[in-house]
Amino acid sequence: MVWGVAEERAEPVVFTGTRRELGGTLVRGYGFMLPTIGLYRFWLTSWKRRFYWSNTEIGGDCLEYTGNAVQLLLGFLMAVAIFLPIYVVFFYLSTLSSDAAVIGYGGVAILIWFMMGYAIYRARDFRLSRTLWRGIRLDQAGSAWGYALRRFGWSLAMIATLGLIYPLMAANLWRYRYSNSWFGDRQFSFVGHWRQLAGPYYLSYVLVAVIGGTGVAMSSFVGTTITNLSGIVPTLAAAVPVGLIVLFYQSRELTRMFSAVRLGQAALTVRVSMFGLLGPYIRFGFAVIGAYVVLAIGGFVVLNALAGDAFAGGTFSLAIFMQHMQGSFTTLAAIIFGYLLLLGAFTMMSELFLGLGYWKLIASNASVSGLDSLTDVRARAEDKALAGEGLADALNVGSY
């Protein structure tokens, strides 16, 4: 069953971007990030968004991203200023007794969790307000504080009910986001209901509890020691079906919630499968392994050239190697650069196979009916606020 509207002719959403094109953008951006000590990431973020937006066609017209790196940088600096008092509190707590520090850290963690909800909503507002389609700008209305309170309250309810209330939380937050979204002077609506999520969620909940609990119980029964790691095998074996069950539920939520989005007479329909979500993760895993193998071979060649005597006689001498690392700036620089390469390779593979894979999956399985009803939509003024995106970046809850 497709959760959408099919009475009118549906126009497929088309994504034309390639992994090679995005890879070239990432390599260029990472190349500039090193000499700028990471500041160039704001420019890289803008490039990536233009890549995703400009390659996404709806009814033959591409999305357009009008944000720029300076806006992102200014927003981040504003967020840093907001967080300075929190950093001072962290420093003060570190000077107190262990009990007071734990209580204080807990309070700060709760505050940050609440602020993450605010930042997520403001970041969504930033991206939508800088997104155009057919020359008409999107926007996010509603209250970021209201969304943060909703999210925080639902989080407490999730803890109290051991996660059983999740379908109500998910449907409520989806509804708040989309019922407060606008395309020009026309407001989106959301017709989804928590009952659409209840069946797949509670089925997944029970299966995860049974399979995961069985794996942990068997591991506890077998036991794990330093010399005998067989006890972790049942847990690892249970992780595979548990992961598939989680992906199954995610596919149902994405399908049914995205397909509940309306814009007047226009309706979005999305169909996502569990295996569609699994594919990017498998490709990502192989890509990371391949990248690390190449880097390991290159690292061995470099280290052998810089500290060849540590590998003399077919064995490795840690003492000699440490002497080289301490006494040679070149060797130390090579190790630091190698670490940055490992981190950069992981980030790049994540973007190429998870970020791009998710975007392509949703776009290639989406269609929109009733586009002709949007011909009389009028534009709204641009929202020029910056702080929300910067706060999301500081809390690492940004997107694309």
| Same domain, residue pair 148 and 64 | yes
Evaluate whether residue 51 is within a structural domain. yes
Q: pTM score, two decimals?
A: 0.87
In a domain, 63, yes or no: yes
Same domain, 397 and 332: no
Pairwise CA distance, residues 132 & 137, whole Å: 4
Give yes or no: residues 115 and 26 share one domain: yes
35 and 129 co-located in one domain: yes
> Which of 226-230, 235-239, 304-308, 346-350 is the least confident region?
226-230
Residue 104 lies in a domain: yes
- Predicted confidence band of residue 175 (pLDDT cuts 50, 70, 90): very high
Domains of the chain: total: 2
| Same-domain pairing of 278 and 399 | no
Q: How many alpha carbons lie under 13 Å from residue 283 in its C-beta half-sphere?
A: 18
Stretch among 18-32, 69-83, 93-107, 218-232 having the lowest mean pLDDT: 218-232
CA–CA dist 252, 171 (Å, integer): 13
Q: Based on the domain organization, do 150 and 278 belong to the same domain?
A: no
pLDDT at 8: 64
**23 & 103 share domain:** yes
Is the domain of 116 the same as that of 42?
yes
Low-confidence winner among 73-82, 147-156, 216-225, 374-383 (lowest mean pLDDT):
216-225
| CA distance linking residue 191 with residue 175, whole number of Å | 8
- Identify whether residues 332 and 400 lie together within a single domain: no
- Whole-number pLDDT of residue 6: 44
Segment 351-367 mean pLDDT: 96
Q: Is residue 258 part of a domain?
A: no
d(CA 195, CA 309): 67
- Reported as a single tens digit per residue, the pLDDT across 242-289 is 999 999 999 999 999 999 999 999 999 999 999 999 999 999 999 999
Does 400 map to a domain?
A: yes
pLDDT at residue 324 is higher than 50: yes
- For residues 283 and 400, membership in a common domain is answered with no
Residues 292 and 400 in one domain: no
> CB-based contacts of 378: which residues, under 8 Å, 6+ apart?
136, 184, 185
28 assigned to some structural domain: yes
- Whether 396 has a pLDDT exceeding 60, the answer reads yes
Closest residue by Cα to residue 276 from 368, 362, 170, 399: 362
- Smallest Cα–Cα separation from 94: which of 82, 84, 104? 104
The predicted model gives 381-391 an average pLDDT of 68
Domain span at residue 58?
Answer: 11-156+391-400
Confidence band for 166, pLDDT divided at 50, 70 and 90: very high
pLDDT attached to residue 2: 47
In a domain, 337, yes or no: yes
**What b/e string do you get for 361-381 counting C-beta neighbours within 10 Å, with b at 16 or more?**
bbbebbbbbbbeebeebeebe
Stronger pLDDT, 286 or 71, i.e. the higher one: 286
Question: What is the reported pLDDT for 5?
Answer: 46
50 lies in some domain: yes
Instruction: Using the predicted structure, report yes or no on whether residue 397 has a pLDDT greater than 80.
Output: no
Q: Is the pLDDT of residue 391 over 60?
A: yes
- Averaged pLDDT, 151-177: 97
* Predicted pLDDT of residue 320: 63
Do 295 and 398 belong together in one domain?
Answer: no
Q: Decide which of 228 and 203 is more confident.
A: 203
pLDDT at 143 exceeding the cut of 90: yes
pLDDT digits (tens, 9 = 90+) for 294-322: 888 887 777 666 666 666 666 666 666 66
| Mean pLDDT over each residue of the chain, to the nearest integer | 86
